[in-house]
A and B are shown apart, each in its own frame.
Chain A
Amino acid sequence: QVQLQESGPGLVKPSETLSLTCAVSGGSISYYYWNWVRQPPGKGLEWIGYIYYNGDTYYNPSLKSRVTISLDTFKSQFSLRLRSVTAADTAVYHCSRSGRAADAFDLWGQGTMVTVSS
């Protein structure tokens, strides 16, 4: 059974870079799209971007200037970097999977809370 698990610092200072990793276990990272989605406390879901197993990426235009998603196929994990964070970036960050670029997300990680505060 494929599982996703997010990890990373729970506290980031304003103007610094948020870095998270999603470990994929129990299955292959190939032939899937790997997404990051965030959810501010008490609010809805916002898609951040995806990376395909071949390294192709696509980011939400609202975050594009600050986001990088990368992939490590050997470690079977993918990562999110969000630069110049502010309090508005405080959220639970989920990683997820889709079978095609235009597809629903059939598998999600539990999520990790990241607070931006000095």
Chain B
Amino acid sequence: DIQMTQSPSSLSASVGDRVTITCRASQDISNYLAWYQQKPGKAPKLLIYAASTLQSGVPSRFSGSGSGTDFTLTISSLQPDDFASYYCQKYNSAPWTFGQGTKVEMK
């Protein structure tokens, strides 16, 4: 199976900071990569699909980039509502697998 490795596993940041999370696939997955946000006790929320396409209703401060094996989620200016965990997911071929997550905490 293709493994998805996220880094960092956690980070501390302040409101207004630019935040970058990376996700690396163990094999080429083209652009079949999604990013989700999850808050404690809540369902994951789709932010980005096809590596860089913003899901409807998601603020434009979120962006995604990458192709092949290396991907990035960027929050251009961190807002109070953005403190959460973030997961990448590959979906080029089953089984769909997720990264281990990145927890964004308040500094």
Q: A110 with B98: in contact, given A102-B32, A103-B49 (CB under 8 Å)?
A: no
Residues of A within 8 A of B36 (CB): 105
Query: Which of A46, A62, A101, A104: most chain B CB closer than 10 A?
Result: A104
Interface of B is mostly: loop
Contact partner of A94 among B44, B94, B95, B99, CB < 8 A? Answer: B44
For B, the interface residue count at a CB cutoff of 8 angstroms equals 25
Once the chains are docked, how many angstroms separate the CA of A105 from the CA of B32? 12
Contact partner of B95 among A60, A98, A103, A104, CB < 8 A? Answer: A60
Q: A47 with B96: in contact, given A104-B91, A106-B55 (CB under 8 Å)?
A: yes
Contact partner of B46 among A101, A102, A105, CB < 8 A? Answer: A105
A110 touching B42 by the CB < 8 A rule?
yes
Q: Does B52 have its Cβ within 8 Å of any Cβ on chain A?
A: no
Residues of B within 8 A of A (CB): 1, 32, 34, 36, 42-46, 49-50, 55, 87, 89, 91-101
Known: A45-B98, A58-B94, A96-B43. 8 other contacts (CB 8 A): A47-B95, A61-B1, A61-B95, A94-B43, A102-B32, A102-B91, A108-B43, A108-B44
Residues of A within 8 A of B (CB): 44-47, 58, 60-62, 94, 96, 98, 101-106, 108-111
